[in-house]
Amino acid sequence: MNELAIGLNEILKGTAAFELLSDYGKRMFFPVNGIVAQSGEAAQLAKRYNATVGMAVSNRTPIEHSAVKAMLPGLTPAETVSYAPSPGVLALRNKWKEEIYRKNPGLNGVELSLPLVVPGLTGGISQIGDFFLEKGKKIVIPNMYWENYDLIFTEKNEADVVLFEFFSENGGLNVDGLLKCMEESAVDGKVYVILNFPNNPTGYSPSCEEVAKVKAGFKALAQKGLKILAIVDDAYFGLFYEEETYKQSIFAELASLDENILAVKVDGPTKEHFVWGFRVGFVTFGGAGLSDKQYDAIAKKVAGGLRGVFSNSSMPAQNILLKALNSEGYEAERASYDALLKERYHKVKEVIAKRTTGKALTPQPFNSGYFMNFVVDGSAEELRKKLLQDYGIGTICLQEKYLRVAFSSVDVENIEDLYNCIFEAADKLFD
């Protein structure tokens, strides 16, 4: 093993974070004397000529094609065409950390790592998969989940996915099922779990009461000696439409709960800030008792992972996001788009409540996010095809029995027509 990896592991020894790492995670390090580090040193000290980095530079400024410049007038060449640091643009990392605290008052006084920039939440979940999972390990996932987890955890990491029923019989979060599944899935005293609220595909987020139960359950498992990695996929964070819904990230409850728990928040602007194609996301660690030095050691490992897989994330996207976050009136406009989705959500609720048709479709509980999901009493794939072919309407069929509708993508004035078509198509097929 590389000396630098051994050094980082020494810093982490005795923590749940270290115990939970995969072999790959243990081997990873950031090459302190590599090209990136030497370039960084030269950027400070090479006053005469800086012949380090693999970019074309003129007058100490990266060359930027005038056509590119014309399209990005608010950014300097250093902010657009330059390489970004592997862990991300420092000012953006600091700003995002501030934002995490602002949006999650429960984290007040809780020490966290500095967020690392990843290429979208997918890049973040994938990195965390590599750092903690591997053949022989199990990861607990709700049976209603984003399908990309299959490619990441099952196919890439070769971990065994263990599903628990997402909804309880009374239509809330099945906290007992989650905790039971976690306990039963422990291998060598280690448990890996991913939580995603608002949930894709159902659009469900838990109540404060449910979150309190999750928290108490995690604490009890940790006190039994289980080491827990809780991956929190916050892709749709903030899009909560009902009073009783818990309005923070569940990361806020887990990040300092117990020394046996390492929580990892994977979030980003993709859905929250409506910049789907930016390919920027963040990974932030929180674990009770972790020192700054230990957070830094984990971050260095992940930075090494990023260097080895992506090298770095999009520089223009990071700088656009940073400037947007710091710009006057930005948050108010962003919130107005949240309100737009909330309006669509209420329209969906209204249309479903007054329907007299489409009885083969049972909506699953939903109160947040971009989607709602129907359980189809019949073939969801047949329904999807009929909607596409006869009505020109695109929806998603999942697991053969669910039809996911992204109401986020349809203007409010068209919601009623959309759902009436769905109900009519279902009646034609299944009545």
- Considering only 16, 17, 21, 121, the residue that binds ligand PLP (CB under 6 A) is 121
Scanning 118-126, 174-182, 210-218, 357-365 for contacts with ligand PLP by CB under 6 A, the matching segment is 118-126
Among 270, 284, 368, 408, binds ligand PLP (CB under 6 A): 270
CB of 178 to ligand PLP, least distance (A): 17
Consecutive H or E run containing 35: helix 35-45
In 10 A of CB 253, how many CB atoms? 23
By beta carbon distance, the residue nearest ligand PLP is 120
Closest CA to 6 of 257, 209, 301: 301
Its sign, for the CA torsion 154, 157, 159, 162, is negative
Please, what sign has the CA dihedral across residues 65, 68, 74, 78? negative
Task: Give the span between the Cα atoms of 311 and 168, in whole angstroms.
Answer: 43
What is the rounded CA–CA span in Å between residue 395 and residue 379? 14
User: Can residue 249 be called a binding residue for ligand PLP (CB under 6 A)?
Assistant: no
Stretch binding ligand PLP (CB under 6 A), from 119-127, 185-193, 249-257, 346-354: 119-127
Nearer to ligand PLP, 77 or 124 (CB): 124
Per CB under 6 A, the list member of 104, 113, 200, 314 interacting with ligand PLP is 200
Q: Is 281 in the site for ligand PLP (CB under 6 A)?
A: yes
Distance CA 363, CA 375 (A): 6
Q: Residue 115 interacts with ligand PLP (CB under 6 A)?
A: no
Q: Which is nearer to ligand PLP, 15 or 313 (CB)?
A: 313
Q: What is the 3-state secondary structure (H, E, C) of 239-291?
A: CECCCCECCCCCHHHHCCCCCCEEEEEEECHHHHCCCCCCCCEEEEEEECCCC
Instruction: Check binding of 268 to ligand PLP (CB under 6 A).
Output: yes
Under the phi-then-psi rule, with left for phi > 0, alpha for psi from -120 to 50, and beta for the rest, what region is 323? alpha
- Please state, as a whole number, how many other Cβ atoms lie within 10 Å of the Cβ of residue 210: 21
Is 84 one of the binding residues for ligand PLP (CB under 6 A)? no
Stretch that binds ligand PLP, among 8-16, 55-63, 116-124, 395-403 (CB under 6 A): 116-124
If one asks whether residue 122 binds ligand PLP (CB under 6 A), the answer comes out as yes
CB nearer to ligand PLP: give 358 or 369: 369
CA 159 – CA 181 distance, rounded (Å): 16
Instruction: Give the whole-angstrom CA distance, residue 25 versus residue 193.
Output: 17
Could you say whether residue 284 binds ligand PLP (CB under 6 A)? Answer: no
Q: Which span (20-28, 34-42, 120-128, 184-192) binds ligand PLP, by CB under 6 A?
A: 120-128
| Residue 85 found at the interface with ligand PLP (CB under 6 A) | no
Relative to beta strand 227-233, strand 190-196 is parallel
Residues 42-61 close enough to bind ligand PLP by CB under 6 A: none
Q: In 10 A of CB 225, how many CB atoms?
A: 9
Distance of closest approach, residue 275 Cβ to ligand PLP, in angstroms: 9
Does 372 bind ligand PLP (CB under 6 A)? Our answer is no
Would you count residue 398 as binding ligand PLP (CB under 6 A)? no
Q: Pick the closer one to ligand PLP by CB: 224 or 276.
A: 276
Question: Nearest Cα to 152, choosing from 194, 99, 101?
Answer: 194
Contact window for ligand PLP (CB under 6 A) among 56-64, 102-110, 114-122, 397-405: 114-122
Footprint of ligand PLP (CB under 6 A) = 120-122, 146, 196, 200, 233, 235, 268, 270, 281
